[in-house]
Structure formats: C-alpha cells, structure tokens
Amino acid sequence: EEIIASYREALRLLPQGHPEASLALQGLAIALHSRFQRTQSLADLDEVIVLERQTLDSRPEGHADRCSALNNLAFSLISRYEVQGSDEDLEASIDFARASLSLRPPGH
C-alpha cells in the first residue's frame, strides 16, 4: 500500500508531460497489478489498464520503452480476459502483443 501511495504522490507532484511521468505511471500500474494478483480486485485491474494506456500514450512511435508499454498492456488485458471473459480484451491483448513483438529485433 505504501508503494502505491508513493507513486500516486509522485504523479500528483510531476507536471503534466514531465519525462519521468511515464515511469511513475508504469510503476503504479505494476504495484496495482501485484495487488490485483493478491486480492482479485477488478477495480485495481481496471485502473492498471487505464494507467498502462496512459503510459503507452506517453511513449510514441520510436520511444525506446514503447515495446515494454505495449507488452505490459497486453499482459493486463489478458489478465482481465481471464477473469471476465471479454473477447474484446482478448483481441486487444493479441493486437498489443503483436505490436510489441514487431518492435523487437529479429531473434530477440
């Protein structure tokens, strides 16, 4: 809980568009996903997906960390699919995973 509060505070203090904001967004998403795995709180998982979409938006084409943002979002969407069974989440997860793979160098 303390790490979640710390990331929320960091995001509150960082100016919009700050280069470190995407790291704080990703950190908060990871912490909330960890809590979701323990509690199965769908509210946490829904927030994770919102945060990961914001992280992806802050890492445009050509950004060095775009691949990891795509992969994290794909993973969280598949987690929600496993709980709720939404075909939309499954399809989106596949699309984001494919996009992530397309950014990897051959043989990686």
Asked if 36 contacts 80 with a C-beta cutoff of 8 angstroms, the reply is no
Tell me whether residue 108 is in a domain: no
Asked if 92 contacts 65 with a C-beta cutoff of 8 angstroms, the reply is no
Give CA–CA dist 72/29, Å, rounded.
Answer: 9
| Domains contained in the chain, number | 1
Asked if 34 contacts 80 with a C-beta cutoff of 8 angstroms, the reply is no
pLDDT digits (tens, 9 = 90+) for 32-74: 999 999 999 999 999 999 999 999 999 999 998 999 999 999 9
Give CA–CA dist 39/18, Å, rounded.
Answer: 32
pLDDT digits (tens, 9 = 90+) for 13-36: 998 888 889 999 999 999 999 999
By residue range, what is the domain housing residue 22? 1-103
Question: Residue 82 maps to which CATH number?
Answer: 1.25.40.10
